[in-house]
Structure 1
């Protein structure tokens, strides 16, 4: 029986040592890794990355001014006495009023979609973006240029940002061609406007 107990003790020690040796090289690591995941977000975050901007700009400005002024003067000089007896009673009334008003209203809409590139990553993590898009149809050229600063958290999972979320946003929209040329005043009109 003593031999049986000794064998059981030896077997238990061997099993315990083998468990320690087998589990010793194992380390706890995460199964998730950003680098090789097929589910990694494709958001722009580095210089050269591409970002889609949905441009939905609408602006309206109204300015009004009203001016009303009125002025009234009354002057009376009595008849002269002594040497100034020839001066008769002089009376003068003067009234002046003016009224003016004016208003101006201007509105504009711009809807487009374009792709821009990250030019610089700022120290706080924000991204400086810039891009141009030029479209020519029937000799009419339209050019859109966009630049500004975006926060990475405002970029959607689809790598899209709305133009209303661009800080210091600058959007230039220009058109050239036959229609644009017709909207420009002629040389004689511009000359007369300059003179008068």
Structure 2
């Protein structure tokens, strides 16, 4: 009877040990999975075609003034015998004069802090390991379309773990706007004016 009790006790201890070992192995495996997951979560751009988000925060002040003035004057004079035409009754012959004048102006001014996000792509990896990037964004408001373009060179180490980088860390940075809309059209003569200028 004693031997059976001892054997049963040993068996129970063995089962408990095996269970404890399996639990530890599972925890260890889970820890490795988390570690691997952490490595996978690092999605920083590192090769051509990868995308990085540019956080633009610049103090900008810009002014654009457009002014156009055109003058066109034509004069026609004719004298001679016009037969029985009513033109022959005009003293001094026939004269005609046309004058066209057009003035147009447009003004766009911006000042203050320029803040936005632009997604850019790595278009080249330099020999020193730095990245050449380029990105653009098009915004249209109140009939004015503005395309914002960002170009420059960034260091891989300046890219944060969430795959973003501040515009202040872009070397040889070019941040500019290309706009079309109301202001651009303001200094262009209308269709009727252009037709008259073409005729005369």
Task: Provide TM-score, normalisation by structure 1.
Answer: 0.48
Larger Rg, first or second structure (1 or 2): 1
Task: Provide TM-score, normalisation by structure 2.
Answer: 0.47
**Higher helix residue share:** 2
